[in-house]
């Protein structure tokens, strides 16, 4: 459940960053794919950092814990935005 939340919020985060930063926008499909990858990575990084409240592993009822869900959405969205920004910068550098 937590991974799905991270992936969806990553796709949203990638598209939001693409919409806000036009020079990094790669189109809806690339923005979504980069966001999904970033969302998955963001959720995994939070798990590795040992932050159960943010990573969504706060116990057996983690899927129902609003704090865990908010943490997953934030981590996935930020991860998606960061990966899209990295992809955009690399693509812009290669185009020069």
Structure letter (DSSP) for residue 79: H
Q: What's the CA gap between 39 and 64, in Å, rounded? A: 20
Enclosing H/E stretch for 56:
none
Residue 51: the pLDDT is 56
* pLDDT tens-place values along the chain, 96 residues long: 778 888 999 999 999 998 998 888 888 999 999 999 999 988 788 777 765 555 444 444 444 578 878 888 888 899 999 999 999 899 989 987
In whole angstroms, give the CA distance from residue 49 to residue 54. 9
Could you tell me the end-to-end alpha-carbon distance of the chain, in angstroms, rounded to an integer?
42
The model carries a pTM of: 0.77
């Amino acid at each position: 459940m937590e991974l799905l939340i991270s992936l969806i919020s990553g796709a949203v985060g990638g598209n939001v960053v693409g919409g806000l930063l036009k020079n990094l926008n790669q189109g809806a499909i690339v923005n979504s794919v980069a966001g999904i990858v970033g969302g998955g990575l963001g959720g995994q990084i939070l798990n590795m950092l040992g932050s159960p409240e943010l990573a969504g592993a706060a116990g057996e009822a983690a899927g129902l814990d609003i704090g865990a869900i908010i943490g997953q959405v934030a981590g996935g969205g930020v991860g998606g935005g960061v990966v899209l920004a990295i992809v955009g910068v690399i693509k812009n550098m290669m185009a020069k």
